[in-house]
Amino acid sequence: MMDVLSQTFSALADPTRRAILARLSEGVANVSDLAKPFLKDMSLPAVTKHLKVLEKAGLITKTRDAQYRPCKLNAEKFRDVSEWMDHYRKHWEASFDRLDEYLKTIHPTKKKKKPKKR
């Protein structure tokens, strides 16, 4: 039995699945819509499987409309990942500052690099 976070991360660890999520971030799409960009690289059942992985991970929801299966992004799941990431945020922000300090010492006139606003 896989823990929730592992399942989420491993669902995200595939470029096809991330591309599907990117497409769904633009709006609802059914299976063949989602599959279209990949059909030169893989079969339809392969895409079906990717969707199943995303669905089991809770990253998307698949509904029914006649013979179509409209899929939509399940945004809450992303928040869970983001919350896990938050624990490390201070570290990368700190390391950014350290780099910043370092850059100032070697090149004091150079424009200050600032961490991204969130």
> Which string of x and - marks every residue 45-74 that binds a copy of itself (by CB under 8 A)?
----------------------------x-
Q: How many residues are given for the chain?
A: 118
* Cβ atoms of 57 and 11 closer than 8 Å: yes
Listed in sequence order, the residues at least 6 apart from 41 whose beta carbon sits closer than 8 Å to its beta carbon are: none
* Cβ atoms of 18 and 60 closer than 8 Å: no
- Could you say which of 6, 32, 43, 48 contacts a copy of itself (CB under 8 A)? 6
Does residue 1 belong to the site contacting a copy of itself (CB under 8 A)?
no
Residues making contact with a copy of itself (CB under 8 A):
3, 5-10, 12-15, 18, 21-22, 25, 73, 75-79, 81-89, 91-92, 94-96, 116, 118
